[in-house]
């Protein structure tokens, strides 16, 4: 996620090879020949030796930041091909978008991750689709270039196929299914009322603030509008982009097949664990209310109802109970907030963003989630799921000082109240300084430095 003005960029989010190793021959129904990965849908040779499955999560890697590149290069290896101690472990890394704008950086990042994990799943974020070079003229074409790169390296951009991870042997009671859900945001996602800007403050629209509107290119947008508009309702441009990108999930019927596989495992009485992930937010409850956001209009460019409808198709199959044997976790990125919260549908929503080095200096407390507590090199991504304990990060009672993320904790304890339109003190101060009239800015010079991050709490200071 990024904003055009360098001034707001630092703050905005605040408020705002097929590497199949000895343990894993075809655990996901993927052929070991990367060329066949996307087509060999009905392959069922999952020879799974009983071992532990660990799923790690990271998003918003922003590999072009030197510190972030170092973090990726120095991640501890979890791959069993590297003779690490937990030799029975099959490790999976989920990358929930925003790796880099240059394909060469994406490739370097993926290659490093493939050395450290047995399997890497990925979906793109908005940064990955920026057309920064002259040759790049269409973000939808860029998606295809990124997918080709993934296929060549063995990074998975399709749902796990066949019986899921855990193999077809009947004694494997637990089945783990993982699905990237490719998505975009649409303005219609934001159903909450606007907050009241103070007099003399003119908060600009998302088109002026978000870099995507400049660097993502959609030359065929008008054609998509004609193709998609069956109704007379006028939608935002983003809606048509979101719809077009969502359709990528249906190519070759792979999402339907994924749903059928989950359903079959459920009908066979298996314990089913599903992890879906996207870059964008499927629910408005996953971003702080506008009065808390340094850029209160951010909500217009973060999430998607179209995405949520797709994810709900998975949830419907599972009929989740509060502490039942089946589970559905959805991981996301984009907003750069540590987050781990179960909503009323019994789905767990998790974000662990590497974000920007500046954000770790300014507002570390709102980035931390669970054991993902630092962007310092040598740390690991968030361990999201461990089949040995069948525990999701934060779901097992033995994690004594479990941290669900600052804002997730706030919403565990406080009801969301979008009818409250009074800006939080730190937001009021920020918007007045950045978007206020000249007179207002002059009067602001007298106040103390309020550069610290937006946090729930009396002062809003870190």
Confidence class for position 393, pLDDT limits 50, 70, 90: low
Distance in angstroms (rounded) separating the CA atoms of residues 38 and 151: 8
Q: Among residues of the chain, what percentage have pLDDT more than 70?
A: 76
Encoded tokens for 316: 């419907």
Residue 285 confidence (pLDDT) above 60? yes
Percent residues over pLDDT 90 in the chain: 57
CA distance 88 to 386: 12
346 or 437, which is more confident: 346
Other CB atoms closer than 10 Å to residue 379's CB: what's the count? 16
Residue 384 neighbours by CB under 8 Å, 6+ apart: 55, 56, 57, 94, 275, 329, 331, 350, 352, 392, 393
Q: Strands 339-342 and 348-351: what pairing?
A: antiparallel
pLDDT at position 461 is 32
> Average pLDDT of 27-40?
36
Cβ(363)–Cβ(61) under 8 Å?
A: no
Report whether pLDDT(271) > 60. Answer: yes
Q: Which of 109, 346, 300, 70 has the alpha carbon at shortest distance from 205?
A: 300
Best-predicted range by mean pLDDT (35-44, 72-81, 306-315, 324-333):
306-315
Of 449 and 260, the one with more pLDDT: 260
Q: Per residue in 119-131, pLDDT tens? A: 999 999 999 999 9
**3-state SS track over 100-145:** CCCHHHHHHHHHHHHHHCCEEEEECCCHHHCCCCCCCCCHHHHHHH
Q: How far apart are CA 8 and CA 433, in angstroms?
A: 11
pLDDT at 290: 95
Distance in angstroms (rounded) separating the CA atoms of residues 178 and 159: 6
Please say if the pLDDT value at position 208 is more than 60: yes
When mean pLDDT is compared across 322-336, 397-411, 442-456, the lowest value belongs to 442-456
Distance CA 450, CA 369 (A): 25
Q: Which residues contact 451 (CB under 8 A, 6 or more apart)?
A: 362
Architecture of domain 52-413: 4-Layer Sandwich (3.60)
- Residues 209-231: pLDDT tens digits? 999 889 999 998 888 888 776 66
User: Quick check: 382 and 331 in contact, CB under 8 A?
Assistant: no
pTM: 0.84
Say yes or no to pLDDT of 367 above 80. yes
CA 27, 103, 135 angle in degrees (round to 5)?
140
Mean pLDDT of the region 405-419: 94
pLDDT, residue 23, reads 37
Give the residue-averaged pLDDT of 397-412: 74
Is pLDDT larger for residue 169 or for residue 433?
433
* pLDDT per position as a tens digit, 255-266: 999 999 999 999
How much is the pLDDT for 422?
93
**List of E strands, 288-440:** 327-331, 339-342, 348-351, 382-386, 391-392
92-101, 302-311, 324-333, 448-457: least confidently modelled range: 448-457
Question: In 3D, which of 185, 407, 425 has the Cα closest to residue 297?
Answer: 185
Residue 247: the pLDDT is 96
Mean pLDDT of all residues belonging to the chain: 81
Confidence check: pLDDT of 244 > 70:
yes
């Amino acid at each position: 996620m990024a904003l055009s003005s360098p001034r707001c960029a630092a703050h905005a989010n605040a408020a705002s090879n097929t590497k199949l190793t000895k343990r894993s021959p075809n655990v996901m129904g993927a052929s070991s020949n990367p060329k066949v990965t996307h087509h060999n849908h009905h392959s069922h040779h999952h020879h799974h030796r009983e071992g532990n499955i660990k799923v790690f999560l990271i998003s918003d890697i922003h590999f072009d930041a030197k510190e972030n590149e170092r973090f990726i290069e120095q991640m501890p290896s979890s791959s069993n091909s590297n003779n690490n101690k937990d030799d029975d472990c099959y490790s999976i890394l989920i990358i929930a978008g925003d790796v880099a704008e240059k394909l060469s950086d994406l490739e370097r990042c993926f290659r490093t991750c493939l050395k450290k994990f047995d399997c890497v799943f990925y979906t793109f974020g908005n940064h990955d689709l920026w057309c920064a070079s002259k040759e790049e003229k269409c973000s939808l074409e860029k998606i295809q270039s990124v997918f080709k790169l993934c296929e060549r390296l063995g990074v998975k951009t399709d749902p796990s196929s066949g019986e899921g991870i855990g193999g077809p042997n009947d004694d494997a009671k637990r089945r783990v299914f993982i699905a990237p859900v490719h998505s975009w945001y649409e303005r219609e996602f934001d159903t909450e009322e606007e907050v009241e800007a103070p007099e003399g403050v003119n908060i600009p629209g998302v088109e002026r603030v978000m870099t995507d509107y400049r660097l993502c290119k959609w030359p065929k947008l008008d054609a998509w509008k004609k193709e998609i508009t069956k109704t007379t309702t006028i939608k935002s441009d983003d809606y048509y982009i979101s719809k077009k990108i969502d359709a990528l999930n249906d190519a070759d019927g792979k999402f339907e097949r994924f749903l059928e596989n989950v359903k079959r495992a459920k009908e066979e009485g298996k314990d089913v664990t599903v992890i879906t992930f996207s870059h964008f937010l499927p629910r408005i409850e996953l971003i702080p209310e506008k009065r808390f956001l340094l850029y209160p209009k951010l909500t217009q460019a973060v999430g998607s109802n179209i995405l949520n409808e797709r994810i709900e198709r998975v949830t419907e199959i599972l009929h989740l109970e509060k502490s039942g044997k089946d589970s559905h976790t959805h991981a996301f990125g984009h907003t750069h907030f540590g987050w781990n919260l179960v909503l009323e549908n019994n789905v767990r929503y998790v974000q662990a963003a590497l974000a920007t080095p500046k954000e770790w200096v300014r507002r570390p407390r709102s980035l931390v989630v669970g054991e993902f507590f630092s962007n310092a090199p040598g740390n690991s991504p968030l361990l999201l799921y461990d089949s040995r304990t069948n525990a999701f990060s934060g779901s097992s009672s033995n994690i004594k000082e479990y941290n669900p993320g600052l804002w997730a904790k706030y919403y565990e304890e406080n009801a969301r109240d979008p009818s409250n339109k009074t800006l939080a003190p730190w937001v009021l101060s920020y918007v007045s300084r950045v978007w206020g009239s000249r007179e207002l800015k002059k009067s602001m010079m007298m106040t103390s430095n309020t550069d610290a991050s937006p946090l729930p709490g009396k002062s809003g200071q870190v």
